[in-house]
Amino acid sequence: MLKEKFAVLTLVAAALLCWQVAGVETVNSGIVDPCNSTASSAAGVHFICPQGDGEALNAATTPNPNMTISVTIHDNADLPVIGIPAADFWLIGCADLLLLCGGSGSINATAATDLLGQTTITGDIAGSGCDTGVRVVCQGIVIGNGACAPICLPIAVRSPDQKNTVGGPADGLVGPSDFSFFGTSYQSPPKVYFACHDFVATPVGPGALYGTITPADFARFGSHYNHSC
């Protein structure tokens, strides 16, 4: 009898071991898999401010389209991960050049992931700095990171706060150092063009383009002067 019980237990243990070795990659884990998850958006320029009163991603203004970010989260079995809280999503700069006011709470998803594992990000980033694009982070995992090609969304983020009092990186305050830094490229032409200071497409209206730094950019900078996190 003992020998028979031992044989049964051995078979059960072997079956479990076989499942762990061969089947773990095909079982729905419910854990975010960056390689099976996606994020997408239209391309454009997104103006932000440390105070959080810049532009919303979904606010289409010439020549920028609606830049709502659509996100789909799947697990290792490529099945949707349902009910991930909105606060578990945020954005970072592709070159890690953004300072987020309040950390990950500076911008979150509009809702928890639905039955398809989908949600959107539509708000305004409360932050500083200048970056050529953004990445979506979900529960601390950068979507498309690791063995997969990183997903850098083509949303250029620009803030009037780009320097601190000693000329270093942004510090969360639009202050005198930022004003001096802005002056290095205002106006352009004739000064050398610096995209991070190009906050407004001109001329205003149809046909507006980025590529010059004009009084319109100065006015936008001035309207956010002394704003802080």
Any idea where the domains of the chain sit in the sequence?
Answer: 38-223
pLDDT value for 119: 98
pLDDT value for 52: 95
Tell whether the model's pLDDT for residue 182 goes beyond 50. yes
pLDDT value for 2: 33
Closest CA to 70 of 37, 29, 30, 103: 37
Is the Cα dihedral 121, 130, 48, 194 positive or negative? negative
Cα–Cα distances in Å, from 22 out to 25, 69, 206? 7, 36, 59
User: What is the arithmetic mean of pLDDT over 6-22?
Assistant: 35
User: What is the arithmetic mean of pLDDT over 21-45?
Assistant: 79
pLDDT in tens, 87-109: 999 999 999 999 999 899 999 99
Tell whether the model's pLDDT for residue 6 goes beyond 60. no
Q: Round the average pLDDT of the chain to a whole number and report it.
A: 87
The answer to whether 109 and 86 are in contact (CB under 8 A) is yes
pLDDT band at 7 (very low <50, low <70, confident <90, very high): very low
Share of the chain above pLDDT 70, in %: 87
Walk across the sheet containing 98-100 and list its strands. 44-47, 155-158, 127-131, 98-100
Closest CA to 156 of 13, 44, 59: 44
pLDDT band at 27 (very low <50, low <70, confident <90, very high): low
State CA 117 to chain mean position distance. Answer: 18
Question: Whole-angstrom Cα distance, residue 86 to residue 112?
Answer: 5
pLDDT value for 9: 34
Residue 149 DSSP symbol: P
Calculate ∠ Cα 209-213-217, nearest 5°: 90
Three-state secondary-structure class, residue 46: strand
Name the residue with tokens 């690791």. 146
pLDDT value for 112: 98
pLDDT value for 145: 57
Question: Whole-angstrom Cα distance, residue 129 to residue 160?
Answer: 8
